[in-house]
Amino acid sequence: MSEESIKSYFDKVDSLKSSFISRLADAVAIPSISAEPERRPDVRRMGLWLESQLKELGATDIVLKDLGIQHDTADLPLPPIVLARYGTDPDKKNILIYGHYDVQPAQLEDGWNTDPFTLIEKDDVFYGRGATDDKGPVVAWLNMLQAHKELGLEIPVNLVFCFEGMEESGSLGLEELIIAEKDEYFKGVDAVCISDNYWLGTKHPVLTYGVRGCNYYSITIEGPAADLHSGLFGGVVHEPMIDLSHIFSKLVTPKGEILIPGIQEMVAPLTTAEDKLYDAINFDLEGFEGNIGSKTVIQDNVKDALQARWRNPSLSIHGVEGAFYGAGAKTVIPAKVIGKFSIRTVPDIESAKLDQIVIKYVEDIFATLGSKNKLKAELIHDGMYWVTDPHNWSFRAAAKATKAVWNVEPDYTREGGSIPITLSFQDVLKTSVILLPIGRGDDGAHSTNEKLDLVNYIQGTKTLGAYLHYLSQEEKDA
C-alpha cells in the first residue's frame, strides 16, 4: 500500500462529502436511546439500519446477535450486537472495530436550539444527538468502506465490526458475547480500534490510552404508601427526599472530594514519570472552560484539572427518580425516591471492593438518620477502567495516520469518561486496544446541541482509513 493510494483515498473522501453527510443525517434521524424503554424499538431499528448499510457496502458474514431480555424493571428486549466482516485474507492482519449505535436521551425542551434528531448544519458544524457520540465515528467507518469500494482500492487488513446498542446503558450482554465469540467470530483478532472519544481541546488531534471506569449506584428510599400533601403530613412523616438529601450531602464535598473512606487508599500513587507526562499536553485552563462553557473549574491549574479527570476517581450525583422536578411549586411529599450517583474509577481501585465500601457507607449513614423509611442501596452497572502503553504498533500506525491527515504529531491523552468494554476486549482477546477519536472536546457529548465539525468528520474518516493502511505495514510488537 503506497503513499499514493493513501492520497487517492483522501481525495475520494473529499469528493464523497455530501454522501457522507446524508449518511450521518440518516443515522441521527433514528432516536436510538438505549436508556428509554419506549425507544427500544428505535434502538433495534438503528441496528437494522447498520446491517443494511454494511450489506450494501459489501460486508460479509453479517450477524445480528440477539442478547435476549434485559432482566430488570421492564424486561425489555436487548438490541442486537451487529457483527460483520470485511475481507478474510489469511495473509492480512485482523482488526476489530468497535462502536456503539445507541445515544443519550435528548429533547428539544432540554435547551436544544434545533430538533435533536434532525442533523442540522450551521457554519460547517453539524448538530444532532449522536453526531459525535458515537454515530459520527461509526458512520465514518462506513464512509471509509464506501470510499475504498468506489475507488476499487483494497483495504489492506481484514476488518471485524462489532457495533452495540447498549453502551450508554452499561453495555449489557457485550462482555458475555466477547467471551463466547473469543475463538469463534473474534478468532485471530490482532488489534482493536475504538473511535468513541474526543480530542482534549478543539485544535489538536489526540490518541487515547486510558479511560476511567464507572460504577453506577442507586439509593431507593420508600416511606408512605403514596405521595402526600405536605400541608397535611409535613412534620409528621419521615420524608424519603429529606433522607436522600442527607445521604447525598455525605458522599462528596462541593470541591469534589469523595467523603467515602477507603477509596482514595486504593488509588495508584502518582509517580514522577507520570506527573511529567502532563506537562507536555497542549491544553490550558481556558480550554477546560471552553469545553464547559463557564468558568467553574475547581482546580486552578491545568495539570491538577487533568489529573482530576484522568487519574483520580470522582463522584457525581445524577438525579432523583420520583422527585418533583417540574416548573411551579407543587407541595408534594414524594413517597418513594431513587437517587442516582456514580463513581469514576481508576487504577488500582478494586471494583467489587468499591461496591462493598460504598453500599455499606450509604447504609451506615442512613442508620444515623433515625428514619423509619426503608432504604436499598445497590449497584446498577459497572465498567472497568483501562490504561495501556501508547507506544505499541497500533499507536505507531495511528500516529502516522494522524500526521498524514493533520500534519502534526498527536497528543497522547487519557479520558475521564468510560467505555466499559475496552478492558474486556484487551483481556479476553489478549490484544491491544487503541482509542482513535474524531470529534473535539467541545462537541457536547451527552449535552444539548451535541455537534461534530465537518472538518473533523471528513478528516476523521481519512484518519481511520489511513490508520488501517499504516497498520498493515507496521510490525506487530512481540
Q: What are the residue numbers of the active site?
A: 102, 167
Q: Residue 383 interacts with ligand BES (CB under 6 A)?
A: yes
Q: Indicate which of ligand BES, Mn ion, none lies near residue 415 (CB less than 5 to 8 Å, by partner kind).
A: ligand BES
- All three cell numbers of 46: 438503528
Q: Please tell me the count of residues contacting ligand BES according to CB under 6 A.
A: 16
Nearer to ligand BES (CB atom), residue 94 or residue 208: 208
Site residues (CB under 5 A) for Mn ion, limited to 185-244: 196
Tell me which of 168, 411, 442, 453 binds ligand BES, using CB under 6 A: 168
385 contact choice in ligand BES, Mn ion, none (CB below 5 to 8 Å, kind-dependent):
none
Tell me whether residue 2 is annotated as binding.
no
Going residue by residue from 338 to 377, which x/- string records binding to ligand BES, judged by CB under 6 A?
A: ----------------------------------------
Choices 49-57, 167-175, 177-185, 386-394 (CB under 6 A): range interacting with ligand BES: 167-175
Of 196 and 239, nearer to Mn ion (C-beta) is 196
Number of residues that bind Mn ion (CB under 5 A): 3
**Is 168 annotated as belonging to a binding site?**
yes
Measured from the CB atom, the residue of 196 and 243 that comes closer to Mn ion is 196
Q: How many CB atoms lie within 10 A of CB 356?
A: 13
Which residue type does 192 have? V
Of 170 and 334, which CB lies nearer to Mn ion in the complex structure?
A: 170
User: Is 99 among the residues that bind ligand BES (CB under 6 A)?
Assistant: no
User: If DSSP states are collapsed to H, E and C, what string results for the chain?
Assistant: CCHHHHHHHHHHHHHCHHHHHHHHHHHHCCCCECCCHHHHHHHHHHHHHHHHHHHHCCCEEEEEECCCEECCCCCEECCCEEEEEECCCCCCCEEEEEEECCECCCCHHHCCCCCCCCCEEECCEEECCCCCCCHHHHHHHHHHHHHHHHHCCCCCCEEEEEEECCHHHCCCCHHHHHHHHCCCCCCCCCEEEECCCECCCCCCCEEEEEECEEEEEEEEEECCCCCEEHHHHCCCCCCHHHHHHHHHHCCECCCCCECCCCCHHHCCCCCHHHHHHHHHCCCCHHHHHHHHCCCCCCCCCHHHHHHHHHCCCEEEEEEEECCCCCCCCCCEECCEEEEEEEEEECCCCCHHHHHHHHHHHHHHHHHHHCCCCEEEEEEEEEECCEECCCCCHHHHHHHHHHHHHHCCCCEEEECCCCCCCHHHHHHHCCCEEEECCCECCCCCCCCCCCEEEHHHHHHHHHHHHHHHHHHHHCCCCC
Q: Which residues of 237-254 are buried (b: 16+ CB within 10 A; e: fewer)?
A: bebbbbbbeebbeebbee
Does the footprint of Mn ion cover residue 164 (CB under 5 A)?
A: no
User: Residue 120: beta bridge partners?
Assistant: 127
Nearer to ligand BES, 47 or 420 (CB): 420
Is 418 a binding residue for ligand BES by CB under 6 A? The answer is yes
Q: Does 196 bind ligand BES (CB under 6 A)?
A: yes
How near is the Cβ of 426 to ligand BES at its closest, in Å? 16
Give the residue with the Cβ less far from ligand BES, 169 or 461.
169
Q: Is 422 annotated as a binding residue?
A: no
Chain positions 398 to 417 lying near ligand BES, rule: CB under 6 A, are 415, 417
**Separation of alpha carbons 23 and 148, rounded Å:** 16
Q: Is 196 annotated as a binding residue?
A: yes
32 is in an annotated binding site: no
Q: Find which of Mn ion, ligand BES, none residue 240 binds, CB within 5 to 8 Å per kind.
A: none
Please tell me whether 418 is known to bind a ligand: yes
Residues 126-145 that bind Mn ion (CB under 5 A): 133-134
331 is in an annotated binding site: yes
Indicate whether 51 belongs to the interface with ligand BES (CB under 6 A). no
Q: Should residue 42 be labelled a site residue for ligand BES when binding is judged by CB under 6 A? A: no
Distance CA 167, CA 82 (A): 13
Residue nearest to ligand BES (CB): 417
102 belongs to the binding site for Mn ion (CB under 5 A): no
Task: Tell me whether the omega of the peptide bond preceding residue 124 falls within 30 degrees of 0, making it cis.
Answer: no
Among 42, 51, 164, 167, binds ligand BES (CB under 6 A): 167
Q: Which is nearer to ligand BES, 208 or 402 (CB)?
A: 208
User: How many CB atoms are closer than 10 A to CB 271?
Assistant: 9
131 binds ligand BES per the rule CB under 6 A: no
Integer Cα distance of 206 and 409 in angstroms: 8
Contact region with ligand BES (CB under 6 A), list: 48-56, 65-73, 191-199, 400-408: 191-199
Which residues bind to Mn ion, rule: CB under 5 A? 133-134, 196
What residues form the annotated binding site for Mn(2+)?
100, 133, 168, 196, 446
Mark the binding-site residues, compressed into ranges.
100, 133, 168, 196, 229, 331, 344, 418, 446
- Chain residues binding ligand BES by CB under 6 A are 133-134, 167-168, 170, 196-198, 214, 383, 415, 417-420, 445
